[in-house]
Structure 1
Amino acid sequence: MWSGILPAVTAKFTPNDTLDIKEMERCFAYQISAGVDGIIVNGSLGEGPMLSHDERLDVLHVAKSVAGGRPVLMTIADAATRDCASLAERAAKAGATGLMIVPSLVYHTNPKETVATLSTIAAAADLPVMIYSNRIAYRVDVTLEIMDELAADKRFVAIKESSDDIRRTTEIINRFGDRYDVFTGVDNLAFEALAAGAVGWVAGLVVAFPEETVAIYRLMKAKRYDEALALYRWFRPLLDLDVSTYLVQNLKLVEALVTGTTEMVRAPRLPLEGARRAEVEKLVAEALANRPLLAKAA
């Protein structure tokens, strides 16, 4: 159902800590103009858990307004299944193309609870679902056995594979074939996952470098692996910033330095400062100084 580059876009805030609708329109449109294949709103990078449900729906509306018919997925991530189901239902009514569901944010569910949570949320919206499998950040591993149990429900169409174990991509494909659309959700494993058969990339650094992210994907699909690998190696120091406790601050700073947007985050997060900020600024300066010319790919 889905494939390609799906940016996990960032939320934009005014100095008064309200959503900056105009700036989100500009930044989301920049992604679309670069050729991405859809948009995912309110994920980890989008600070979704820091937004009210009304704010998350506002971000969804912005994305839909600029997406040009491309898929717009709403991330569902709350502590209580009841609240997740309520938001999922509202997202469906607001026109979301599908959902990306985080199994549990606070309480670390066991396999039975994980299946029940995902199934309840999917039923509330009756939309196609991408399961966000991230045992590193959220401590809930959506295992092959859980995927097997959910496979009978046709609403579950995709997996965002973020286990940090590149073997998992092959294991999913070996077990399920094309039953699930497998996306990589780890920026600095994207080349490896696409080479192993992933059909898409839920990307983070794409917010600052959409053309390069799209180019890597298209080169991989065209089997122009050497060209894709050269571009990926240039990109890799920045991609490593996605795998960090400070991924939101890291990527918002990169986005601000490259595209001129704001880096404001919602508390309790604070913008980067000191040595950590200087390191990100250095990486961006080096990347821009050595930014490659992009090859055309079908």
Structure 2
Amino acid sequence: MSQAKWQGVFPAVTTQFHQDLSLDLAATSKHIEALIASGISGLIVAGSLGENQTLEPAEKRALVAEAVKVAAGRIPVLSGVAETSTVAACQYVRDCERLGASGFMVMPAMVYKADGAEAMHHFRRVAAASELPWMLYNNPVGYPVDISPAQFAELADIRNLVALKESSANTRRITELRIEVGNRYQIFVGVDDLALESSILGIDGWVAGSGIAFPTENQYFWELTRAQKWDEARALYQWFYPLLKLDTHVKFVQYIKLAVQETGLGKEWVREPRLALTGQERERVLAIIRHGIENRPTLRGR
């Protein structure tokens, strides 16, 4: 089994659609190429931002196969795992392994609100279905199952569980996890507008959302945090912050897809039950995005 040590920016990429809402693999591939060119360390397809639950099973597999083809071994390609049953999740990871995926970002089983024992059982069963490495996506805000630091300590015997995406929006968790499990896992921040605060506390990576519309700036900001250039990072963060907050709204998919469209990296079309933004809401979000574009900072050495 690969002893992966994931770190750096692993953006969650949108799934691009044609206007008739059929899968647009060519447009998705174009965006992936732009992200790779920015210097990212890994890629996640079919996550929440990738509209996983609106994709048909065959579409998810086609998306993974295409991402693997485009990446061509340059970076690891992970797939989100958000099935509604444990059996389906196990089958999906086996299929993705055959398609060449490098690993997975595993969510709790969707729809059902599992208790602690059920959630732990689900993660153990999915882990056993493939030897590939994976990260556990902890997002009790969006998916009402919370894996505590003590539970992560219980899961530490799962050898291919190598990372966690911490999206509780509680930065205390980073310190609590380090106290509880040390450096057993690579910790990724999953809330964009806590990226600077989380970096100061000590993280290994960032599952970026809004930054996929601004990949060069996103990567540069991350590199500033790695170099502990906090004054420069804070200055760039102040420009970035309104854009990063697009990731923390219930309509984050629509908001970020609109940003991607405005920067020429994709289209805003989303599948139902999501609907494209209209009226005052669309104008408000466009104003934030366009202000960010108009005031893009000059990046030293870029």
| Structure 2, unaligned runs of 5 or more | none
Change in CA separation of 1:34 and 1:260 when aligned onto 2, cut-off 3 Å: closer
In the alignment, is residue 42 of structure 1 matched against residue 63 of structure 2? Answer: no
- Tell me if the contact between 1:38 and 1:67 (Cα under 8 Å) persists in the aligned partners: no
Displacement of 1:260 in angstroms is 4.9
TM-superposed deviation, 1:61: 1.6
Q: Partner of 1:214: helix, strand, or coil? A: helix
Deviation sequence 1:84-140 (CA, Å, 0-9, x none): 111111111111111100012111111111110001011112211100000000000
Give 1:68 shift.
4.1
The equivalent of 1:7 in structure 2 is 11
- 8 Å Cα contact 1:28/1:63 also seen in 2: yes
- 1:58 Cα deviation after fit: 1.2
Q: Secondary structure at the match of 2:44?
A: strand
- Aligned-residue CA RMSD (Å): 1.1
User: Could you say which residue in structure 1 is the equivalent of 2:282?
Assistant: 277
Distance in 2, matches of 1:62 and 1:229, equals: 37
Structure 1 residues 260 and 149, CA gap change in structure 2 (3 angstroms): closer
Give 2:145's match in structure 1, choosing from 126, 136, 140: 140
Q: Does residue 108 of structure 1 match 2:113? A: yes
Partner of 2:10, secondary structure, is: strand
- Structure-to-structure mapping, 1:117-136, within 5 angstroms: 117-136=122-141
Verify the 8 A CA contact 2:105 2:134 in the aligned structure 1.
yes
Aligned equivalent of 2:57, options 53, 58, 73: 53
Mapping of residues 1-298 of structure 1, within 5 Å: 1-69=5-73, 70-296=75-301
**How far did 1:275 drift?**
1.1
User: CA–CA distance in 2 between the matches of 1:279 and 1:62?
Assistant: 34
Decide whether the 8 Å contact of 2:76 with 2:102 is kept in 1.
Answer: yes
Farther off after superposition, 255-264 or 2-11: 255-264
1:159 and 1:183 in contact (8 A); partners too: yes
Task: Give distance in 2, aligned partners of 1:55 and 1:256.
Answer: 22
Q: Identify unmatched segments of 5+ residues in structure 1.
A: none
Using structure 1 for the length normalisation, give the TM-score: 0.97
Give the 3 Å change call, closer, same or farther, for CA 296–276 of structure 1 in structure 2. Answer: same
Residues 215 and 296 of structure 1 are in contact (CA less than 8 Å); yes or no, is this contact kept in structure 2? no
- Judge conservation of contact 1:134–1:141 (CA < 8 Å) in 2: yes
SS of 1:253's partner is: helix
Conservation of the 8 A alpha-carbon contact between 2:150 and 2:180: no
- Amino acid corresponding to residue 141 of structure 2 in structure 1: I
Hey, what's the Cα distance between the residues in 2 that align with 1:260 and 1:86? 32
- SS of 2:207's equivalent in the other structure is strand
Say if 1:104 and 1:140, in contact at 8 Å, map to a contact too.
Answer: no
Deviation at 1:183?
A: 0.2
Q: Secondary structure at the match of 2:246?
A: helix
Shift of 1:15: 2.2
Return the offset for 1:66.
2.1
User: Following TM superposition, by how much is the alpha carbon of 1:199 offset from its aligned partner in structure 2, in angstroms?
Assistant: 0.8
Partner of 1:61, secondary structure, is helix
Q: What is the alpha-carbon distance in structure 1 between the residues aligned to residue 147 and residue 13 of structure 2?
A: 24
Q: Tell me the alpha carbon deviations over residues 216-244 of structure 1, each in whole angstroms, 9 at most, x when there is no partner.
A: 11111111111111111100001111001
How many aligned residue pairs are there?
A: 297
Shift of 1:261: 2.0
Normalized against structure 2, the TM-score is what?
A: 0.96
Distance in 2 (alpha carbons) for counterparts of 1:171 and 1:149? 15
Instruction: Flag the 1:296–1:3 CA change in 2: closer, same or farther, 3 A.
Output: farther
Q: Is the 8 A contact 2:61 2:96 kept in 1?
A: yes
Contact 2:31 2:265 in 1 (8 A): no
